Amino acid sequence: MERSPYEGHDEAGPENPNLDFKGTTPYEDYVKADVLTHLQQPLSDDPGEMVFLVTTQVMELWFTVLVHEWETASAALRRDDLPAALAALARSRHELEALNASWRPLAHLTPAQFNSYRGALGEGSGFQSAMYRRLEFLLGEKSASMLVPHRGSPRNHDELAKALHEPSLYDEVLRFLARRGYDIPERADLSQRYEPHPAVERAWQEIYSGPQDSELVTLGEALTEVAELVWRWRNDHLVATRRAMGAKTGTGGSAGVAWLEKRASKEVFPELWTARSHV
């Protein structure tokens, strides 16, 4: 049976990997595992804080991947390269599934378990995540006020300010459809939250009323998969928070569960859902 590359080898030989390197291992040079595994600095004595901290850091890495994929898809749509855009969206579907699975270690916390290290968070809260905010901006959830928490971090603030005024992924999709002949109005201010438009709903209605093997139906379904998984992410967050802290005020001063309920009720790519009622 072939050994895993993570298993050790008893002795050197032509069939075994090289174990002697002049500096750090090529694996370390590429993955930076030593950096990643020394970023955890729990602030309480509770052993449960470690999994909370690591899980949160893993989520940040998945946010980074998703931003990369959706920016890749946006760029592909701008150059009318639909296959490349669909490939990026397909990858992001699997990555969203992995992100959503990250809730499992935290999904069953009791209030007492969470309270044992909640104080270590201080005013820290997930809504302060700059990378998650970039992800939301790409989904069309724009808000200039969400730049305010990042004024003390110039790089994050500048990247978010740039993303605020750039087209979202959905903006690029609609521009792509407009170039395909659909009557879709140009948005006047891209820094504002996307609001549904009857003309966009009619365009998706027309697309979904046509041949089901068309590339535009394929695009619509790829976006629908993304939207559904984002909705599941928001609801998993809501349920985990409700189990861990009930209706108490959130760690960052937000309304906690009430704020998450409002977020979970928002549809991503809204006309893709409403158009189905008219097909």
User: Is residue 224 a known part of a binding site?
Assistant: no
For residue 4, the 8-state DSSP code is P
Within 8 A by CB and 6+ apart from 222, the residues are 86, 89, 90, 93
User: Is residue 251 a known part of a binding site?
Assistant: yes
Round to whole Å and give the CA distance between 5 and 25. Answer: 14
The single-letter code of the amino acid at 175 is R
CB 109 within 8 A of CB 240: yes
The single-letter code of the amino acid at 19 is L
User: Is residue 274 a known part of a binding site?
Assistant: no
Within 8 A by CB and 6+ apart from 107, the residues are 236, 239, 240, 243
The annotation places the binding site for substrate at 118, 251
Specify binding-site residues for heme.
237
Known binding-site positions: 118, 237, 251
